[in-house]
């Protein structure tokens, strides 16, 4: 299995499949999931300050014996840490909990807080100092991105958003393509809601694959990074085993047609644009 990479606009490579870790419990479960994933061949782990598992994630990475430079690590700044000074401190706290010297990708978790431009300035500086290899945002609509970029020196390299066949984010993807922002798919399996999805079953049967594998393959072919979460070895391995088959144009069209702009989580369109 050869992990496929995408390339961010600053030429940093990002593995197209990463392990999600939201709701992977601290104190063992998250550690074991990350250790299992790294053994299975994952080289990209997604965490966040608010998940409460940065210590476990970092420990599993450090214990893996895999060179640090071979693993892409993302964490995120939480809503209560906006503002220039707080953002810098939040970054240092995450770094310390992870027990790492640098982070590959640091994201603003949500465009809440009223001070996202100040936060972004701090993140630009962290990037300039080489403390992070890439900076980006999460749950930003095109309007939030427009607002941020008006005062930004650096265009975000990533926007991590809810993304699955029922929320295919076509307008955002066109916008991100134009600005060379890579989209990452959160809840690609709808937090588990779609693992038995009857609309996807026929395509799964045709390819002798599981429904999650079809959905994740659809992500890959649409050119986004995908972040399936699991704490079970069987699923962790299954979700990575999607690089040796291809969905044809008919399969892709059927999956694309499932879109109904359905949000399982917070709809960021409801988050007001900052007025700084």
Could you give the CA distance from residue 123 to residue 103 in angstroms, rounded to a whole number? 12
Residue whose Cβ sits closest to ligand NAP: 20
Q: Which long-range contacts (CB under 8 A, 24 or more apart) does 168-176 make?
A: 168/222, 168/256, 168/258, 168/259, 170/259, 171/142, 172/141, 172/142, 173/222, 173/224, 175/142, 175/145
CB 192 to ligand NAP: min, Å: 3
CB 21 to ligand NAP: min, Å: 5
Q: Is 109 annotated as a binding residue?
A: yes
Q: Which of 31, 51, 127, 175 is catalytic?
A: 51
Closer CB to ligand NAP, residue 98 or residue 189?
189
Closer CB to ligand NAP, residue 85 or residue 135?
135
Active site residue 51: yes
Which DSSP state fits 240? Answer: H
CB 215 to ligand NAP: min, Å: 9
CB 217 to ligand NAP: min, Å: 12
Q: Which residues bind ligand NAP (CB under 6 A)?
A: 20-23, 46, 109, 138-139, 160, 186-192, 195, 210, 212, 227-232, 235, 238-239, 265
Which positions ≥6 away from 28 have C-beta within 8 Å? 56
Closer CB to ligand NAP, residue 15 or residue 212?
212
Which positions ≥6 away from 71 have C-beta within 8 Å? 38, 43, 44, 45, 61, 64, 104
Could you give the CA distance from residue 264 to residue 153 in angstroms, rounded to a whole number? 33
Greatest extent of the chain over all pairs of C-alpha atoms, in Å = 54
Closer CB to ligand NAP, residue 27 or residue 128?
27
Binding residues: 109
Query: Catalytic site residues?
Result: 51
């Amino acid at each position: 299995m050869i992990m496929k990479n995408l390339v961010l606009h600053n030429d940093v490579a990002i593995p197209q499949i990463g392990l999600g870790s939201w709701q992977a419990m601290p104190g063992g479960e998250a550690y074991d999931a990350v250790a299992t994933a790294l053994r299975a061949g994952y080289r990209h782990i997604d965490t966040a300050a608010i998940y409460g598992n940065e210590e476990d994630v970092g420990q599993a990475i450090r214990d893996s014996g895999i060179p640090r430079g071979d693993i892409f690590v993302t964490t995120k700044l939480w809503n209560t840490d906006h503002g220039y000074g707080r953002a810098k401190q939040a970054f240092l706290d995450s770094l310390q909990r992870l027990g790492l010297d640098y982070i590959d990708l640091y994201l603003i978790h949500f465009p809440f807080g009223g001070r996202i431009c100040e936060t972004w300035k701090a993140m630009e500086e962290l990037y300039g100092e080489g403390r992070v290899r890439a900076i980006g945002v999460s749950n930003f609509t095109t309007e939030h991105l427009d607002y941020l970029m008006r005062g930004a020196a650096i265009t975000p390299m990533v926007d991590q958003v809810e993304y699955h066949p029922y929320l295919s984010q076509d307008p955002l993807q066109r916008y991100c393509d134009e600005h060379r922002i890579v989209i990452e798919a959160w809840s690609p399996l709808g937090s588990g809601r779609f693992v038995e999805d009857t609309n996807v079953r026929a395509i799964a049967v045709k390819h002798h694959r599981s429904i999650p594998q079809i959905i994740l393959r659809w992500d890959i072919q649409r050119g986004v990074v995908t972040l399936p979460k699991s704490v079970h070895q069987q699923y962790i391995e299954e979700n990575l085993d999607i690089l040796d088959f291809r969905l044809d144009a008919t399969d892709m069209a059927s999956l694309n047609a499932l879109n109904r702009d359905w949000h399982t989580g917070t709809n960021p369109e409801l988050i007001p644009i900052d007025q700084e």
